[in-house]
């Protein structure tokens, strides 16, 4: 009997935390008013990301027009050197929403022209919901 009660408590707690994830999910408009474009400062997207917390389940909304920019998901080595040896995912249809569905580092840049060299690149570090203190 005690074991059974323990199990149902566990299921209840799991469902509760799943609901918490969906309720607290945030959509981040990348670059705010600039959107996803070549920035004036090469550190613009780094500074944009610095003041934010990215939690599993959150969404990045890259606002851009198709043809003028892309969003590619790459590994750190390609991000650092603006190369495309291994593209993990390509978004190109404009205004792309990317759901951050795992903990860890995500690396993006625009593969158009020299955009990456000019600083149109974004690294976010995604944390688990439980590491955020509740409000
Ligand atoms: C980030 O926060 C710091 C300190 O509050 C502030 O000075 C800075 O302007 C903010 N940067 C951005 C990009 O919002
Ligand atoms: C992207 O979103 C912006 C802001 O909502 C809108 O003005 C623009 O027309 C959209 N562009 C595309 C290609 O959907």
pLDDT reported for residue 11: 46
| End-to-end Cα separation, the chain, in angstroms | 36
**Ligand 2 close to Cβ of residue 63 (< 6 A):** yes
Percent of the chain with pLDDT over 90: 76
What percent of the chain lies above the pLDDT cut of 70?
79
3-state secondary structure 78-125: HHHHCCCCCEEEEECCCCEEEECCCCEEEEEECCCCCCCCCCCEEEEE
Choice from 29, 44, 47, 49 to test ligand 1 binding pocket (greatest atom count within 8 A of CB):
47
65-107 per-position pLDDT tens digit: 999 999 999 999 999 999 999 999 999 999 999 999 999 999 9
Tell me if the domain spanning 25-131 has CATH number 3.20.80.10. Answer: no
């Amino acid at each position: 009997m005690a074991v059974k009660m323990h199990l149902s408590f566990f299921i209840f707690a799991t469902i509760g935390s799943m609901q918490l994830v969906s309720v607290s999910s945030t959509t981040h408009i990348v670059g705010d008013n600039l959107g996803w474009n070549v920035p004036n400062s090469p550190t613009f997207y780094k500074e944009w990301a610095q003041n934010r917390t990215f939690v599993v389940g959150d969404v990045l909304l890259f606002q851009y027009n198709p043809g003028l920019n892309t969003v590619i998901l790459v590994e750190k080595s390609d991000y650092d050197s603006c190369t495309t040896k291994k593209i993990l995912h390509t978004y190109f249809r404009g205004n792309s929403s990317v759901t951050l569905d795992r903990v860890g580092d995500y690396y993006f840049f625009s593969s158009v022209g020299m955009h990456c060299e000019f600083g149109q690149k974004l690294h976010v570090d995604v944390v688990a919901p439980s590491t955020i203190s509740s409000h």
